[in-house]
Amino acid sequence: MAGLREKQKADRERRILKAAVTKFRADGYRAVRIEDLAELAEVSVGTVYNYYQTKGDILIAVVAMEVEEVLASGARIVADPPLGVDAALLALIFEYYDHSLEYLSKEMWRSAMALSIEAPGTPNGRRYSALDRRLSLQVTDLILALQARGEVRAELDARPLGELVFNNLNQVFIDFVKDDAMTLEALRDRVTAQTRPLAQLITT
Amino acid sequence: MAGLREKQKADRERRILKAAVTKFRADGYRAVRIEDLAELAEVSVGTVYNYYQTKGDILIAVVAMEVEEVLASGARIVADPPLGVDAALLALIFEYYDHSLEYLSKEMWRSAMALSIEAPGTPNGRRYSALDRRLSLQVTDLILALQARGEVRAELDARPLGELVFNNLNQVFIDFVKDDAMTLEALRDRVTAQTRPLAQLITT
DNA sequence: GAAAAAAGTTGAAGCTGTTCAAATTTGTAG
DNA sequence: CTACAAATTTGAACAGCTTCAACTTTTTTC
């Protein structure tokens, strides 16, 4: 089919998303007004709301692209983890962390996290939470892979362990984006201090 | 001194805070307008802003009262923890959880958490983060107490371990307030599944 | 006790996310 | 090609948080 209408629709949505990525990174999520996005995307304010339910919805769409990439990178590590429990866990965690600021500023992360907590029932919030869950499952998958290789004690239940590790790395990441002065290196150091002793405890 | 001015000032602040507690619990943080608080407290909208910087600031003040109480309860457990590493850790965690909904609804928690993440530099955000830090330190203190009693391996560093346990209980609590259908019992079960194996690993 | 200064209160105006009824554009039928 | 229907766009209107210049109350000064 690909009628004129469909083509224009897809084009408008693309333009709005592109405007959002550009503006959010340049001026920060907070400072950007819907009117600014509409102007840059060459549509009206009402049209923006035709494609995205709220301002937060636009941000989540941007964040989701980033997290999908990270999940793909993580899958490669789970498929063939480095030797050693601590090395494997930290490789996955650093993969998450190191890519985190590639497309998103700390301010954008803060806003996205705040949105997902404040409005968990909305499509936005659900979408963000679903991504979190997939990240958590990926950590569990890694532990399962390490158990299969005989590196992690077989009697331990991988699921709660994976959740524990993910919850910790996620909370440390929250602290990281809350503090504009904190470097990626400091972030790595902190998570290492907490993850390594655990890794040693669960190693066979 | 206690001049008339000081007395009226303290009285107004008290009335605003009381109005906030009442209204937030009754109608939810989101639904309450500053105008509603002003009306109930018998002041003008402008006066509310004279005592609190933002709407979020009022919420943080309410939440802070709650967390202070929880810290006091927690201190009693740290002073004389139950026997057994898992029992002691879970006693402290349950103390936190069980009191959490006494004065605050899930919606209020969500809003407060979102605020602290979104605006970490404001007095509000800093205040909330400081409370989190004190909670985290309390968990570390408990582990130190258990080490002193010889129940936790002496060679383990209590600080990162305490942070790990706190980060996990905090993240699980976030998931709890994000899901209106989740019960306190389910919350306890989840944190137990994750904390107990760790407790066993660190036990002497 | 009156006048001046200091502190605090007030509510209308400003700003920005969101809604919705009218207008426009695109697709379809005869 | 014209008339009609369906889908989409539009921007003015609305709501609620926040600001601030004018006003009121309390304190200080003489």
Q: Does A203 touch chain B (CB under 8 A)?
A: no
CA–CA distance, B60 with B104 (Å, rounded to integer): 11
Q: Would the Cβ of A3 be found within 7 angstroms of any atom in strand D? A: no
Could you tell me the pTM of the whole model? 0.94
Q: Does A111 touch chain B (CB under 8 A)?
A: yes
- Banded model confidence at residue A175, pLDDT cuts 50, 70, 90: very high
- Of A119-123, B65-69, B183-187, give the lowest mean pLDDT range: A119-123
Contact A164 B161 (CB under 8 A): no
Contact A118 B114 (CB under 8 A): yes
The nucleotides of chain C lying under 7 Å from a protein CB are 7-12, 16-21, 26-28
**Maximum Cα–Cα distance across chain A:** 62
CA–CA distance, A159 with A14 (Å, rounded to integer): 38
In this model, does residue A33 exceed pLDDT 80? yes
pLDDT the model gives residue B199: 97
pLDDT the model gives residue A1: 46
Could you tell me how many residues make up chain A? Answer: 204
Q: Does A186 touch chain B (CB under 8 A)?
A: no
Contact A113 B115 (CB under 8 A): no
In this model, does residue B73 exceed pLDDT 70? yes
Q: pLDDT tens-digit profile of A70-85?
A: 999 999 999 999 999 9
The nucleotides of chain D lying under 7 Å from a protein CB are 7-12, 16-21, 26-28
**CA–C1' span, B22 to D25, in Å?**
29
Contact A160 B113 (CB under 8 A): no
Task: Compute the C-alpha angle A52/A56/A60, nearest 5°.
Answer: 85
- Segment A46-52 shows an average pLDDT of 97
Copy the structure tokens of residue B159: 């600080």
Q: Could you tell me how many CB contacts below 8 A there are between chain A and chain B? A: 90
CA–CA distance, A140 with B177 (Å, rounded to integer): 23
In this model, does residue B198 exceed pLDDT 60? yes
**H or E element, residue B53:** none
Question: Which among A160, A178, A198 has the least Cβ separation from residue B129?
Answer: A178
Q: pLDDT tens-digit profile of B107-156?
A: 999 999 999 999 998 888 899 999 999 999 999 999 999 999 999 999 99
pLDDT the model gives residue A94: 98
Q: Would the Cβ of B46 be found within 7 angstroms of any atom in strand D? A: yes
